[in-house]
Amino acid sequence: MDELLAAATVVCLPMRVRFRGITTREVLLLRGPAGWGEFGPFPEYDDREAVSWLRSAIECAWQGPPPSQRSQVPVNATVPAVDAARVPEILARFPGARTAKVKVAEQGQSLADDLARVAAVREHVEHVRVDANGGWSVAEAATALTALTADGELQYAEQPCASVPELVELRRRLTGRGVRIAADESIRRAEDPMRVVRAGAADVAVVKVAPLGGMRALLRLSEELAAHGVPVVVSSALDTVVGIGAGLAAAAALPDLEFACGLGTGSLFEADVAAPRPLRDGVLAATLVDPDPERLAQLQAPGERTDWWLARLTRCHGLLGGH
Ligand SMILES: O=C(O)CCC(=O)C1=CC=C[C@@H](O)[C@@H]1C(=O)O
Ligand SMILES: [Mg+2]
pTM (2 decimals)? 0.96
Nearest atom in ligand 1 to 265's CA: 4
For residues 101 and 76, membership in a common domain is answered with yes
The string of DSSP letters for 270-317 reads S--SSPPPP-BTTEEE----PPPHHHHHHTBPPHHHHHHHHHHHHHHH
Residue 322: what pLDDT? 55
Does residue 90 line the site of ligand 1, with CB under 6 A? Answer: no
Euclidean distance between CA atoms 82 and 11, whole angstroms: 26
Condensed to tens digits (0 to 9), the pLDDT of residues 126-175 reads 999 999 999 999 999 999 999 999 989 999 999 999 999 999 999 999 98
Mean pLDDT of 52-77: 98
Tell me the CATH number at 17.
3.30.390.10
Distance 20 CA to ligand 2 centre (A): 10
From the list 208, 277, 295, 312, the catalytic residue is: 208
- Rounded to 5 degrees, what angle do the CA atoms 23, 273, 206 make? 65
Percentage of the chain exceeding pLDDT 90? 93
For residues 271 and 316, membership in a common domain is answered with no
Residue nearest to atom 9 of ligand 1 (CA): 237
CB 24 within 8 A of CB 180: no
Distance 235 CA to ligand 1 centre (A): 7
Condensed to tens digits (0 to 9), the pLDDT of residues 70-122 reads 999 999 999 999 999 999 999 999 999 999 999 999 999 999 999 999 999 99
For residues 109 and 158, membership in a common domain is answered with yes
Does residue 78 line the site of ligand 1, with CB under 6 A? Answer: yes
CB 99 within 8 A of CB 135: no
Amino acid at 312: R
For residues 140 and 233, membership in a common domain is answered with yes
Reply yes or no on whether 208 is catalytic: yes
For residues 219 and 316, membership in a common domain is answered with no
Residue 6: what pLDDT? 86
Condensed to tens digits (0 to 9), the pLDDT of residues 4-43 reads 888 899 999 999 988 888 899 999 999 999 999 999 999 9
CB 79 within 8 A of CB 101: yes
Judging by DSSP bridges, how do beta strands 99-103 and 127-131 pair with one another? parallel
Mean pLDDT of 295-306: 97
Residue 321: what pLDDT? 82
CB 74 within 8 A of CB 261: yes
Distance 185 CA to ligand 1 centre (A): 10
Total tally of structural domains belonging to the chain: 2
Distance 247 CA to ligand 2 centre (A): 15
For residues 14 and 79, membership in a common domain is answered with no
Euclidean distance between CA atoms 158 and 204, whole angstroms: 9
Q: Is the pLDDT of residue 205 over 80?
A: yes
Q: Is the pLDDT of residue 318 over 60?
A: yes
Find the helix packing angle between 47-62 and 241-253, rounded to 10°: 80
From the list 25, 55, 101, 103, the catalytic residue is: 103
Residue 237: nearest ligand to its CA?
Answer: 1
Euclidean distance between CA atoms 102 and 113, whole angstroms: 12
Residue 97: what pLDDT? 98
Q: Is the pLDDT of residue 3 over 90?
A: no
For residues 149 and 242, membership in a common domain is answered with yes
For residues 58 and 77, membership in a common domain is answered with no
Residues 6+ apart with CB under 8 A from 210: 38, 39, 40, 41, 52, 53, 56, 57, 237, 239, 243, 246
Nearest atom in ligand 1 to 77's CA: 3
Residue 21: what pLDDT? 85
Residue ranges in the chain assigned as alpha helix (H) = 2-6, 47-62, 87-91, 111-122, 138-148, 164-173, 185-188, 195-198, 209-212, 215-227, 241-253, 293-298, 303-320
CB 175 within 8 A of CB 147: no
Euclidean distance between CA atoms 177 and 94, whole angstroms: 30
For residues 140 and 258, membership in a common domain is answered with yes
For residues 131 and 237, membership in a common domain is answered with yes
For residues 242 and 194, membership in a common domain is answered with yes
For residues 48 and 89, membership in a common domain is answered with no
Reply yes or no on whether 101 is catalytic: no
Domain that holds residue 183: 72-285
Does residue 268 line the site of ligand 1, with CB under 6 A? Answer: no
User: From its phi and psi, is residue 96 left (phi > 0), alpha (psi between -120 and 50) or beta?
Assistant: left
Mean pLDDT of 247-272: 97
Burial, 218: exposed, middle or buried (Cβ in 10 Å; 0-12, 13-18, 19+)?
buried
ipTM: 0.95
Tell me the CATH number at 148.
3.20.20.120
Residue nearest to atom 5 of ligand 1 (CA): 236
